Structure 1
Amino acid sequence: MAWVREEPGAVVLDLLIQPRASRTRSVGEHDGRLKIQLAAPPVDGEANVALIEFLAAALRVRKAEVTIVRGETGRRKMVRVTGVSAQQVIDAFAPGR
């Protein structure tokens, strides 16, 4: 998967975010990134908070272990997650989950 890579002690995800969706969910790979739809609007950081909460719940890690590295104000984001492997991330976002 091009959208996930391992670094020492962490996994880095390349994401494409669609705010103001009907519900929060991952919808698969799009342009080499994992596409995530968020119900939250992109106002006052609400979508970023929703993204961190969604990823933490899906990957079963604490919210403090999910950090937006790049793209805080854009749709294309790079997120670093500690406490999981690349395979765990791939399994968590496999189609049909």
Structure 2
Amino acid sequence: MEKGELAHLAVAGAEIAVLVTPKAARNRIVAEGDVLRVYVTAVPEGGKATAEVQKMLARALGVPKSGLELVRGATARQKVFRVG
């Protein structure tokens, strides 16, 4: 996704649920209906995949990385981020 392509979702206090696929062939975000699927090449070890998801999602939303807070799913494939 391009920078700011999901800017319409970047409302302060909004919670965004994503489904993460680590160790993917390439990094990308796909909107499938109400679900955001995030594919990352990073491995799910030591928070590397979660950090990559946060970076990609922030870019797609057009907000700084620090503007996203992980609410649920630190070690799960289903994660929820809150826009700050």
SS in 1 for 2:14: strand
Given candidates 10, 15, 32, the residue that maps to 1:12 is: 15
Give how far 1:58 is off.
1.2
- Give the distance between the partners of 2:27 and 2:39, measured in 1 at CA: 5
Other-structure match for 1:63: 65
TM-score by length of 1: 0.69
Other-structure match for 2:29: 26
Q: Is the 8 A contact 1:19 1:38 kept in 2?
A: yes
Given candidates 23, 39, 42, the residue that maps to 1:40 is: 42
RMSD: 2.0
SS in 2 for 1:35: strand
**Larger RCO: Structure 1 or Structure 2 (Cα < 8 Å, ≥ 6 residues apart)?**
2
Other-structure match for 2:77: 75
Runs of 4+ in structure 1 displaced over 3 angstroms? none
Unaligned runs of 5+ in 1: 83-97
Q: Is the 8 A contact 1:56 1:66 kept in 2?
A: yes
- Give the distance between the partners of 1:77 and 1:33, measured in 2 at CA: 11
Find the structure with the greater CA-based Rg.
Answer: 1
Q: Is the 8 A contact 1:6 1:12 kept in 2?
A: no
Do the aligned partners of residues 6 and 40 (structure 1) sit closer, same or farther apart at CA in structure 2, a change above 3 Å counting? Answer: closer
Q: How many residues align?
A: 76
